Structure 1
Amino acid sequence: MAVVSAFLVSGSPLPMLKPENPAWAGLATGFGRARDALVASKPDVLLVYSTQWIAVLDELWQVRARSVGVHVDENWYEFGDLPFDIRADVALAEACVAGCAGVGVSAKPVDYEDFPIDTGTIVADTLLNPERVPVVIAANNVYHDFATTEKLAAMAAAIADAQGKRVAVVAVGGLSGAYFDRTIDIATDHVRHEADDAANRAFLEALTQGADAARAAVGDYAGAAKADFGMKHLAWVFGATGGFSGAVVHGYGATYGAGAAVVEFRL
């Protein structure tokens, strides 16, 4: 099978920019554990879907061979800049663009200098990919539902398999979506609502029980916790892996009130 490892990680830059902050240290440590697991799986390519790369007309795929720059996050700029150097698996990305027609999705490649790579993708590539393994990055089309996202991921994994490549699946997005709307002491950051915290923890427990439990829980959870894009990033994991037997939660916490986690799936 092409997929050798799979992860769901927060796209917030806060644990990366301020890992020493007590409230974010657990997530930063979790990223380190996930990084070690990803490297140990020896992938040829990372198949990345970030809720923060927004598309509206087509499914977009990054096909530029190398994207280099410094990104300034639109929300958390006061904590520091985000340099990036991302290498793409062009052959696989272009094949994914072509393959979208087979699942009834209109798609386009993206290949131009200074394209605004999103924060979530930069965070995931920086913290999980120290060996600079090539990536394939798919956009989050706001009109694609959970099932469509799942089909896209399955298609991409199947094409990678046909190309003989080992794949690490990386789904980038948050959990509960209620941020603090005031300045807080970041050292005491926590999930803003107790009900959201309870829902996040229950959903993470469902992930540890396997794909069936996660699929049964995701709809109600996403609605109750106002989860990031209805947890479409989990659909990416479902589609690419074809299912999972369980999961390990390497880190859980808050990113300015919103829920965040670092999860490794057992395949």
Structure 2
Amino acid sequence: MKLVKNRPLGLLGTALFFGCVNFAAAGNPGITGPQYDSDGSFQLTPYLPEAPYFLNDIWMKKGNGNWQPLVVGYRDYSVNVDVSAVGDYEFKTRWYNPSPQPGTYSGFSNSIVVIVSAIAAPDTPGISVPTTDTDGNYTVSWSKAARADQYKLERAFNGGSWTLVQSNLAYSYTASNQAAGTYSYKVSACNVSGCTVSNISNITVTTTDTPIPGMPSPARVPNVTVITWPSVANASYYETDIYQNSWIRIASGSSTSAWYGGYTPQQFRVRACNVNAQCSGFAYLY
């Protein structure tokens, strides 16, 4: 269908003649791709949006499953798709104009089906670990590997045996309160065809001595005795005791306050400890 719009051609005496110019109607969303695939990685080609639309949404479903968004707000000549299981995959696209909000969509295109008959092992992931750390808290991250449906992160301490620390689809791991020493990490990207393993990456953790904390300052509320103290550099946790014929531990944690309900002891003491469980001397309150 074509749209027709009048435009003036010229004047003949007092008569005004009009001619016609043809404007092509906006096209329709569409998508192409292979009918068959034998490794789980293939390319789709969506039609580029036409005015008034600017972006593509591409949706996918496997077999009799539900439609799920694969790519949202995309504009390019091709889209790389990686799947981790054999099966029939169906794709459709629509166009999107994000302005003005809330935006407008075209209808969906006809769908296409890609039949995946085999899956190759995942690409090899890359791993990133800081080379040094001074407080025992750091993040290990790795790149997405095509066709992977699971990542297994392993760790070794000071050249010892490997231990599995995480197995899921995440791309990072946060280590907390690690003792001083050298940690080695490697990550495996896995699917039904096997696993590929990253290079080994090492981090050396060092810590410093923890200064003695400042003198605790008690404050009272009804039926509760509360003591507080200033935070200490390099402290990972604090240990708080009261004296009641002998020293009794009432708190151990990262908080800079402690309480003991309904009792007013004669003496408190507090010390700060680092990630290696190395502790300062006690600061006393009499």
Task: Classify the TM-score, shorter chain.
Answer: under 0.3
Greater strand proportion: 2
- The structure that has the greater radius of gyration is 2
TM-score (norm 1): 0.23
TM-score (norm 2): 0.22
Greater helix proportion: 1
